[in-house]
A and B are shown apart, each in its own frame.
Chain A
Amino acid sequence: MSVSNKKGLDYWLPKLVVSPTVAITVIFFYGFVIWTAVLSFTKSRILPQYEFVGFDQYVRLFLNDRWMGALTNLLVFGVLFIAICMIVGLIMAVLLDQNIRAEGALRTIYLYPMALSFIVTGTVWKWLLNPTVGIERFIRSLGWDSFTFDWIIDPNMAIYTIVIAGVWQASGFVMAIFLAGLRGIDTSIIKAAQLDGASLFSVYTRIIIPSMRPVFFSAFIMLAHIAIKSFDLIIALTGGGPGNSTDVPAIFMYQFSFQRGQLGMGAASAIIMLMTVLAILVPYLYSELRTPKNG
């Protein structure tokens, strides 16, 4: 019997097959991030150039009022968007968990906005929120003449319209995550609690919801990720305006890099965005990877 060498085709093939993706990871992910970082330390303007200026671009960035405004807006939007999505999503999940007859249909309705492009969502809400044609005019026509809902043209309030549209789009998604979490809980625990005399309300608040900590965690990560990257929704809804009142880092980065010929500063803002994501993500991944693996 011939005895084949172990370093045969089956030894090399797997490596060969993943090699394009390894190249992608090394070049397009890590390589490009490093490249962006390098650009952020240069005085590049319209075209990349490699004259290093240290942290100058970061200093300019943080002295720039628009950037600071964009960061503030992101903070306001992020906190409200995440908090409201979580609360609304959780409530909807708990309500849907009550043995609802038309659960499938309702779930489909709650979740469909997630299948839409943020551009579509922005287009629709831009129209609804427009005081001269949308909700404000409609309510006034019903007889409530003093009704005002003009946040989208009010620089102090416009950021909250982003929250409204964002929550409309993403809360169903949070509901789906939470509902999956609720369904994953061992029903014998719930039965045991009910035998102990716990009411339905305390079963949820004392047992079920606390045991869904990991689900909250991952929902939080996903929402934070959406918030930090949010670009299309704001472009479509307010275009960053009125003025710069709904500017966020993603829009800032896009405009400074591709419209204003400030590559160095655009790169610096992108690196700050990446750092923000990592600051949220690394502790999460760390705790995830520490949990024992199966197999």
Chain B
Amino acid sequence: MAELNIDNVYKSFGETHILKGINLSIQDGEFVILVGPSGCGKSTLLNCIAGLEEVTDGRIVIGKDDVTHAAPKDRDIAMVFQSYALYPNMNVRKNIAFGLEIRKMPKEEIDAEVHRVAKLLQIEPLLDRKPSQLSGGQRQRVAMGRALARRPKTYLFDEPLSNLDAKLRVEMRTEMKKLHQRLGTTIVYVTHDQIEAMTLADRIAVMKGGVVQQFGTPQEVYDDPANIFVAGFMGSPSMNFLNCEVTESGGNYAVQVDSEGRIFQLPIDPKQADLSQYLGKTVILGIRPEQITHVMPHVEAEPFVTKVPVKIEVTEPTGADTLVLARINDQECECRVHPTEAGKPGEMMEMLFNMSKAVFFDPETEERL
């Protein structure tokens, strides 16, 4: 029983308001990721959950216990830090055992626990080394080992992979996911890397300015962003945002785009948005690059797909796909095409705009329509 409830939490430092009413209800065993740009309050929130920062207002409940004012050690929480925070003066064994010693666990049990954890993380050969003698990846494992040894109800991870090089980061990501599947404990994980968030999380809380913008599964957050910020933050390359006028064509709403002086109507899937209030007004069309592709016969036949010739400004090959930067409505628009189909800069190229997953935002509030 270790669901974690964060109930209307506020945190201010003097006049600076870092957290402005956070509500998250995290289920037992769930892997939740807090993601957002730096300064969004995600690390502060994690520190508040850990008890390293006192909340200004609100409640934090772990399981059935209200721990809002409890000391960190009484919350049954373990945390892995970005810098790993291994005690430099102790060897790996001592690092892992320290928390157990303080909790006055008998010596034999500590030894057994250290070995269990070391085996789990495959760091047994490192037990007698000092942190300074370990590589980045090894330190990361030891930091996890220290957290695992206490068998807490909840784990907190503060950007644990961001100090690793790219390749190791991907490896550890996989390992972390396996570990969670094995342990089944609740994890709250902070990162600024949206790919990490997408790949690891059961649910993602996207934060900005001390407010949770959206809390949902990775797919929900990706396909159904609550506002322009979430839409733009999640996904790489980022979603295209185009200011478009709403028109009516053949009993269906459409948005109007201009490519090299030619006007096209892109009919809209009514499931995606009701734009009746916006007829004749401007909305922001959000469309991901993979929804704008080169011409493929089987796609072309689908509903809400429109063919538009665009002028190529820049091409960026990524290997699997090539990103084509075009100009639509005098705004930049990225399209994702097969490498062999991509044209050259300056050329015209026909693109299929698939509107079945397009989303729309109010230009004033930037909220989803």
A interface list, Cβ under 8 A from B: 1-6, 8, 10
Contact = CB atoms under 8 A, between A and B. Distances in A.
A10 B74 contact: no
B76 A3 contact: no
Contacts of B74: 1-4
Contacts of A2: 74
A1 B76 contact: yes
A254 B161 CA distance: 63
B71 interface: yes
Nearest to A6: B69
Contact of A6 (B54, B65, B76): B54
Contacts of A5: 69
A1 B65 contact: yes
A10 B51 CA distance: 13
20 contacts: A1-B65, A1-B74, A1-B76, A2-B74, A3-B65, A3-B66, A3-B67, A3-B69, A3-B70, A3-B74, A4-B70, A4-B71, A4-B74, A5-B69, A6-B54, A6-B69, A6-B70, A6-B71, A8-B71, A10-B71
Main secondary structure of the interface of A (DSSP, over half): loop
B152 to A, nearest CB: 12
Given A1-B76, A3-B66, 10 more contacts: A3-B65, A3-B67, A3-B74, A4-B74, A5-B69, A6-B54, A6-B69, A6-B70, A6-B71, A10-B71
Contacts of B67: 3
A142 B125 CA distance: 75
Main secondary structure of the interface of B (DSSP, over half): loop
Closest 4 CB pairs of A and B: A3-B70, A6-B69, A1-B65, A4-B71
Contacts of B69: 3, 5-6
B229 to A, nearest CB: 28
Contacts of B66: 3
Interface in B50-91: 54, 65-67, 69-71, 74, 76
A10 B71 CA distance: 9
A265 B71 CA distance: 57
Nearest to A1: B65
A186 B70 CA distance: 47
A4 B70 CA distance: 5
Nearest to B69: A6
Nearest to A2: B74
A1 B62 CA distance: 11
A102 B2 CA distance: 65
A3 B73 CA distance: 10
Contacts of B54: 6
A6 B73 CA distance: 11
Interface string B280-300: 000000000000000000000
A3 B64 CA distance: 12
A3 B75 CA distance: 8
B180 to A, nearest CB: 24
A4 B67 CA distance: 9
Contacts of A3: 65-67, 69-70, 74
A227 to B, nearest CB: 41
Nearest to B63: A1
Interface in B163-199: none
Nearest to B74: A4
A10 B66 CA distance: 20
Contacts of A10: 71
A252 B69 CA distance: 60
A4 B66 CA distance: 11
A10 B54 CA distance: 14
Nearest to A11: B71
A139 B260 CA distance: 95
B228 to A, nearest CB: 32
Contacts of B65: 1, 3
A121 B247 CA distance: 93
Interface in B340-356: none
A294 to B, nearest CB: 15
Nearest to B65: A1
Contacts of A1: 65, 74, 76
Nearest to B73: A4
A6 B71 CA distance: 6
A195 B67 CA distance: 61
A6 B66 CA distance: 13
